[in-house]
Amino acid sequence: MSRPFNLEITESEAELKKRLQHVREAIHKEKLQMLWWLKSGQVTQQQEIGKRLGRDTSTVTRWLQKYRRGGLEELLQIRKAPGNERKIKGEVLAALQQQLQNSAGFSSYGSIVEWLEQKHGLVVEYGTVYATVRYLLGAKLKEPRPQSYQQNEHAVETFKKTSVPR
């Protein structure tokens, strides 16, 4: 049999139940459920909490330690990893954006890769350039539709004059 643990829960049972009803994230719901069970006296052992929630006892112990350290705010805080640093940033990103707004622009993402290497000394992969241009900057490459080299210029002009505007 495990030893009983002492935990002073500062929030009232009604407050925990109200927060439990309005919470959106599943992980927050589990943590609030654990506190509510403890406050209402339904559970007295960590193993019982783990069984009810389908979590390992070490997870429940870690949650309780967080609550002891910083209260409900510490328990419900979700930390996010900072991620990797951007390859194209600062002045280079501003120069790329300016070049994309230029009427000439770029013909392909490969030409952007070459431009970054020649002008700024950055070796960046194609996928990184594509993601930066499309999603971060929200730009599209300015590229005319392909035209046949056999196209008759006179026929095109005649068609433009005779076509009916909508």
Burial 12-35 (b: 16+ CB within 10 A, else e): eeeebeebeeebeeeeeebbbbbb
Q: What pLDDT was estimated at residue 165?
A: 65
Asked whether residue 160 is domain-assigned, the answer is no
Domain tally for the chain?
2
* CB contact at 8 A, 53 and 33: yes
Average pLDDT of 21-29? 92
* CB contact at 8 A, 133 and 111: no
- CA–CA gap between residue 26 and residue 48 (Å, rounded): 19
Asked whether residue 40 is domain-assigned, the answer is yes
Asked whether residue 82 is domain-assigned, the answer is no
Of 16-30, 67-81, 86-100, 151-165, the one with minimum mean pLDDT is 151-165
pTM listed for this prediction: 0.53
Range of the domain at 128: 90-136
Average pLDDT of 24-35? 92
Asked whether residue 48 is domain-assigned, the answer is yes
Q: What percent of the chain has pLDDT over 90?
A: 45
Q: What pLDDT was estimated at residue 103?
A: 75
**24 and 60 inside one domain:** yes
Q: Residues with Cβ < 8 Å from 133, sequence gap 6 or more?
A: 96, 100, 109, 112, 139, 141
Q: pLDDT tens for residues 107-147?
A: 889 999 999 999 999 999 999 999 999 999 988 887 767 88
Asked whether residue 155 is domain-assigned, the answer is no
**1 pLDDT higher than 60:** no
Asked whether residue 6 is domain-assigned, the answer is no
Q: pLDDT tens for residues 57-108?
A: 999 999 999 999 988 899 999 888 888 888 998 999 999 999 888 877 788 8
